[in-house]
Amino acid sequence: MNSRSSRTEADGSSGPAAVRINGSYGEGGGALFRTVLSLSALTQRPVQIDRIRGGLRKPGMNAEDLAFLKLVCDCTLTEMPEVNLGDDTLLLAPRRLPKGTTTSVDVGTFEKGSPSGSACVLLTGIAPVLGRALGYSELHLVGETHGANMISFDAMERSLFAAWRRMGLVSIPVLKRAGFGAGNHGEILADIEPGRIEGVHWAKRGSDIHLGATVTYGELEDGIAERAGARLEAQLQKYGENVDVEIVQVATREPGIHVTVYADCQPGFGSAQAAGRRGTRIEHVVDQAMAGFAEWYESDATVDMFLADQLLLPAVLAVGDSTFTTPQITRRLQTMAWAIKQFIPIPITIRGTEGGPGTITIQRGSG
């Protein structure tokens, strides 16, 4: 289904023509969808996206996409388009530049049999937009918070938001209730502070390194989380003595446990995570998280491969140039760089080949 807007040339108005985006380009997934909507809001350019999530096995908008669309509409005072689950085309014309908002979005409102969505993905997607808004924002987001294939609350708080704060993008999240795994909804409260975002020069890691891990769990028998903490501390000490392992018991409607390992290298940030599953020993979960962490930490890259693409949009919105390195150039990183250039003619240079290490440079200038 196509949504309609009175601000596009297709409707005969004097507004700017919509930017046309092929939603199957590159990775062709949700990150492209969120990046495009964010840029539409920030540049006030209408956008038409065709073949949404066309690069994935199940194309079309899912509940997470519709929830993110609502966040964008709320902060731009734009009427929510008449779209449904599975629609693969969207036309959106934001009414105004983003403004601070107080809003609540529950992914479950849009599910209706669709796979559940992540509250963390919603927050990490909208935070750069609201970081450039006029006024503070207070969000209440309901969805998965600790999943296997998406950023967890702990990685978001300890690594991504720590890196963003170093740039001047400040978001303060609070986990009100954990949602472990698909279909288990948690709650996140977040304050987002508007401000000036600064470019970063993270070509080399610093030597003042803080290593840490968080074991988040709820509704489990005694001793499991403590075993995870002890194994994490023993394995992290081979990388350094400044180690902080935290065991956090949380409110949850379903039992679960999640392990996140992170490092702040000043400069340099990275994390890895693993979700506990029924029938899997907690030692295996810890080893899985540590293996992912070692892949980044034992390289000389300043940020992990997932953090690299999450730094891209804030770096484009920053004052001044940015440089950082990654152990692996991903298809998602390349896709997001392409999407940004459809709205903002800015030099984004990715040196290296897909699957290998690389250096990302954003030439923003001082203005």
| Token duo for residue 360 | 């990302």
> Three-class SS of residue 362?
strand
What is the C-alpha to C-alpha distance for residues 163 and 229, in angstroms, rounded to an integer? 24
Which helix (H) or strand (E) element contains residue 231? Answer: helix 224-236
Neighbours of 181 (CB within 10 A): 19
Mean pLDDT of 261-284: 95
Q: Is the whole model's pTM more than 0.85, yes or no?
A: yes
Mean pLDDT of 221-232: 96
Given a cut of 80, whether residue 4 has pLDDT beyond it is no
CA distances, 327 to each of 37, 162, 167, 271, 305 (Å): 28, 19, 21, 13, 6
Closest to 144 measured CA to CA, from 249, 58, 256: 256
Closest to 98 measured CA to CA, from 64, 124, 60, 136: 136
Contact 120, 305 (CB under 8 A): no
Q: What is the pLDDT of residue 14?
A: 59
With tokens 């993905």, the residue in question is 121
By mean pLDDT, which of 5-19, 139-153, 178-192, 280-294 is the weakest? Answer: 5-19
Q: What is the pLDDT of residue 325?
A: 98
| Token duo for residue 330 | 């991903």
> Three-class SS of residue 226?
helix
With cut-offs at 50, 70 and 90, classify the pLDDT of residue 12.
very low
| Token duo for residue 258 | 């999640």
> Three-class SS of residue 174?
strand
CA distances, 365 to each of 294, 321, 361 (Å): 35, 6, 12
With cut-offs at 50, 70 and 90, classify the pLDDT of residue 365.
low
Q: What is the pLDDT of residue 115?
A: 74
Q: What is the pLDDT of residue 270?
A: 97
Q: How far apart are the first and last CA of the chain?
A: 41
Domains contained in the chain, CATH given: 1-95 (3.65.10.20), 210-297 (3.30.360.20), 305-362 (no CATH)
Q: Which region, left, alpha or beta, applies to residue 283 given φ > 0 means left and ψ of -120 to 50 means alpha?
A: alpha
CA 121 to chain centre: 5
Contact 329, 281 (CB under 8 A): no
Closest to 309 measured CA to CA, from 342, 327, 344, 333: 333
Q: What is the pLDDT of residues 265-274, one digit of tens each?
A: 999 999 999 9
Mean pLDDT of 120-142: 97
Contact 114, 63 (CB under 8 A): yes
